[in-house]
Structure 1
Amino acid sequence: MDGTGDRSTHAASAKWYDRKEYVFLDFCIEDSKDVTVKFESGKLLFSCVGGSDKEKYHNEAELFEQIIPEDCKHKRTDRSIHCLMKKSKSGVAWPRLTKEKSKLKWLSVDFDNWKDWEDESDEEMGNFDQFSDMMNKMGGEDEMPDMDSMEDDDGGTDSDDEKLPDLE
Structure 2
Amino acid sequence: MSSVSESCHPEVLWAQRSDKVFLTIALPDAKNVSVKCEPEGLFSFSAVGVQGESFDFSLELYGKIVPEGCKTNIGLRNIPCSIQKEQKGWWKRILKSEEKPAPYLKVDWNKWCDEDEESSSCKFI
With normalisation by structure 2, the TM-score equals 0.85
Distance in 1 of aligned mates of 2:95 and 2:37: 14
Match of residue 109, structure 1, among 91, 103, 107 = 107
Counterpart residue number, 1:45 = 44
In structure 1, the partner of 2:117 is 120
More strand by share: 2
Tell me the percent identity.
Answer: 34
Q: Which runs of 4+ in 1 moved over 6 A?
A: none
1:48-63 equivalences under 5 Å are: 48-51=47-50, 53-63=51-61
Gaps of 5+ in 2: none
Structure number with bigger Rg: 1
Residue 73 of structure 1 aligns with which residue? 71
User: Which residue number in structure 1 is paired with residue 91 of structure 2?
Assistant: 94
Consecutive unaligned residues of structure 1, counting only runs of 5 or more, are 1-5, 127-168
How high is the TM-score relative to the length of structure 1? 0.64
Deviation per CA, 1:72-128: give whole Å up to 9, x if none: 1111000011111001111x1123221122221110000111011x21375xx49xx
Letter in 2 for 1:67: I
SS in 2 for 1:120: helix
Size of the aligned set, in residue pairs, is: 116
CA RMSD of aligned residues (A): 1.7
- What amino acid does structure 1 have at the position aligned with 2:23? L
Aligned to 2:14: 16
